[in-house]
Structure 1
Amino acid sequence: MKSVDLDPEGILIAQKLSRYYKGEFHYWHMETEDYEMCKSEEGISPKRMRILERITDDRLKPVVERIKAYETARYQEMLMEERK
């Protein structure tokens, strides 16, 4: 399992990790529900948004669509704080 930030760079890193590690690979807290829980107002520039075009893993597509809709980054540290 691997957890990264819910921003274009983090999603791309997650996809690269899943391709690198052969066998079963699970994304940790990479669902749309997790994105919704990690409130942030940090906008994502158009240049960074274009990184999402490189995401091809179907398991990541729902959160990619949510990022495109809101155009904001979310950080999993906020998710952990929310669950305390």
Structure 2
Amino acid sequence: MGNLFAGPHLWIILIIILLLFGAAKLPALAKSMGQSARLFKGEMKAMKNDDAQTPAAGDSDATVTTTAQEPIDRPADRDTPPRSS
């Protein structure tokens, strides 16, 4: 199976994009895509830094607290009779 976006196929796709968006809007589209890529990259770096700063599971300094939650009373649960063991 050959490369899907090779030679004439790539040119046809580029021409269709040019016709859809127009030559005037292409620079603004490229600028917004670049800004989005930079923002995404920055968020990924921030997430990696947050992960690196959180204590590992085996650390003695880390304490984990959990709270018990009440079971959800669903309408279907109320309509069914209790099971007998």
Instruction: Please indicate the TM-score interval, normalised by the length of the shorter structure.
Output: under 0.3
Task: Provide the TM-score with structure 1 as the length reference.
Answer: 0.23
TM-score normalized with structure 2 length: 0.23
Higher relative contact order (CA 8 A, sep 6+): 1
